[in-house]
Amino acid sequence: MEQMGIKPNVMTYNLLGKNYVARTDVVVERLTVWESLLKHMHEQGIKPDLISWYLTLSLLPSDLEHKRVFKLAMIKKGLNKVSKFHDIELTDMLNNDTLIDKMLEYYRSLPRKELDVNCMNTMIYKYLSMNRFADGWMFMTMKNSIRPRNSTLTILLKDCKIRGKLELMIRIINTMRTRYKLINYNSNRMVLDYLLKMPDDGLPEWYPVLVKYMLRYDLSYGIDRYRRLDVMVKRLQFKLDKNFAGHERHGNGILLSTIPLNQVTRFETKFFNNMEKMVVLENESLAKIERDFLLIDEDDEIGTDERLETTDRESITEEVVSNDQWIRNVILKSYYDLMRECLE
């Protein structure tokens, strides 16, 4: 800017600050960068605006006494009636291990117009940190709640990935796409990355078809669909060639690097359609419908003692089946659909 003779304003420094501090998670480094920008602003005779102060507040560690004093000063001047302030307050409560009931009390005391998706995301993150996905999902979907965004989807999927909940990841992606029209480029890649990192020792027989489904799903719905795909595809292809020798000869080859969207087997068509019907189950009646859909009788045992799990209060079915029986059920349903089609 100096070389071009452009005179910066307060917005320029705010943008520089946001971008610089976003590149590091080191608190001292972030504070140092922002402090130098504030000093430069002062030297240029530019006064910080409200965004500058909110940025300063967000950078201060949650347990710092100066931050508490800073917030009290902003409250005294009436600068706390915006979502940014409340998001900072909720984040501080989260970092200080505040009980969820206290956070809920604060959240519910605020006017709807002073809340945004970041505030809601912080509450959801708190539930997830307590391994309470069902409560977090109910909080997100309650009446008059804030509409989730891609950032919400990312938070949910990251938690599932850490906890190894592959089925729930797929259900969340499908639900967000059908209910909220959210199509996130990174969401499909998270699932593919999860599949890529599964240990080679004893990969299940359903692994190739699920990889193929997620890749086609990515190509069908993904935004910026081919960016960085080639590297991941080559790694997946290597993993398949290593662990499923001869899969090309048996007609199950994925040809990941050149996979066309219009070339699928009849079984794969049924499987893909059934997979897309998997959504987050929100009560016991829906869970029963899915049991019927997957041909699982209430009293049958199909290779596992694990049943569809729901809470006593008919809330969300967090994990339909804890192991890989869920995908075996989808495969079973897909073969059944194919057989029925052939007989008709």
CB burial class (10 A; 0-12, 13-18, 19+) of residue 70?
middle
pLDDT of residue 319: 45
pLDDT of residue 255: 47
Q: What 3-state DSSP class applies to 44?
A: coil
Q: What 3-state DSSP class applies to 317?
A: strand
- Structure tokens that stand for 72 in this block: 């009290």
What single DSSP character describes residue 114? G
In one letter, which amino acid is 93?
Answer: M
pLDDT of residue 322: 46
Beta-carbon neighbour count of residue 292 at 10 Å? 10
Distance CA 273, CA 261 (A): 14
* Closest residue by Cα to residue 188 from 231, 155, 154, 164: 154
Alpha carbon 216 to chain centroid distance? 19
Residues 10, 46: contact at Cβ < 8 Å?
Answer: yes
Comparing 66 with 226, the larger pLDDT belongs to 66
- Structure tokens that stand for 316 in this block: 């969300």
> At which residue do the structure tokens 């799990």 appear?
309
What pLDDT digit, counting tens, does each position of 195-221 carry?
Answer: 999 999 889 999 988 988 888 776 665
- Structure tokens that stand for 149 in this block: 């965004």
Residues 196, 218: contact at Cβ < 8 Å?
Answer: no
Q: Which of 113-122, 124-133, 185-194, 290-299 has the lowest mean pLDDT?
A: 290-299
* Closest residue by Cα to residue 308 from 295, 333, 290: 290
pLDDT of residue 195: 94
- Structure tokens that stand for 208 in this block: 């190739």
What pLDDT digit, counting tens, does each position of 2-53 carry?
Answer: 677 778 888 888 888 887 776 766 677 778 888 888 888 888 889 888 888 8
What pLDDT digit, counting tens, does each position of 246-301 carry?
Answer: 655 444 445 454 455 556 788 988 999 999 999 998 765 565 566 555 544 444 33
Distance CA 246, CA 134 (A): 42
User: Confidence class of residue 115 from pLDDT cuts 50, 70 and 90?
Assistant: very high
Residues 174, 157: contact at Cβ < 8 Å?
Answer: no
Distance CA 295, CA 288 (A): 11
Q: What 3-state DSSP class applies to 281?
A: strand
pLDDT of residue 123: 97
